[in-house]
Amino acid sequence: MTTDNTMINPDDTALVLIDFQPAMYQGVESHDRLSVMHNVQTLAKTAKLFGLPTIISTVAKDSFAGPFMPEVTDLFPDTEIIDRTSINSWVDENFRKAVAATGRKKIVLAGLWTEACVMFPTLDLLAEGYQVYVPTDACGDVTPEAHERAVQRLVQAGAVPMNALQVVFELQQDWARGETYDGVMEILKAHSPYGIQVRFSKWALGEHASEAG
């Protein structure tokens, strides 16, 4: 187990998204499902913006659970989706190879459900020496208690709890980082309440200001 509370950055981190599929969403009662969907998109768009290697995995896609949410997969058209039979992604050889191929030791991991499809591979990743960061608001479980007990166990094992916007801000670090600034603003506009302020600020400093002038 490796415990590391240092911040993530674009050069040392990969993103893993597991089982955001219709059948799995149906069981989520710990969070508002729409909120989880927004937070997963926040993670995916952030990974795309900052160039993080991204792994996408499904379970029983064709026989039971359905396709991974297209709002995410459409962002990564060249990424092969790893379909599994195992509850624990780490049991799947293709998944393990994909993680190793990223060359990254910090893994941001989110999935459905927290108690199984998030916890099981996280425990194995920690045992293999990876540092795992779990944005818990982009995960979900069958009850609030199931989610919370799973998060507690993950933290005790050495995983670092986060939230989706924290991932965005840790990677951005400085609003003067111009190459990603506009992309971050677009993510905030699309998937966070702060997007209201972003829209207002652009109006106040843009069209409205020009009219006043």
Q: Which residues are catalytic?
A: 117
Strands (E), the chain: 13-18, 54-59, 82-84, 106-111, 131-135, 160-162
Rg of the chain over Cα atoms, rounded to whole angstroms, equals: 18
User: Which residues face 44 on adjacent strands?
Assistant: none
Nearest CA among 13, 134, 17 for reference residue 82: 17
Torsion-angle region of 176 (φ positive above 0: left; ψ -120 to 50: alpha; else: beta): alpha
Residues 6+ apart with CB under 8 A from 136: 114, 147, 151, 161, 162, 163
CA proximity to 17, closest of 74, 63, 69, 91: 69
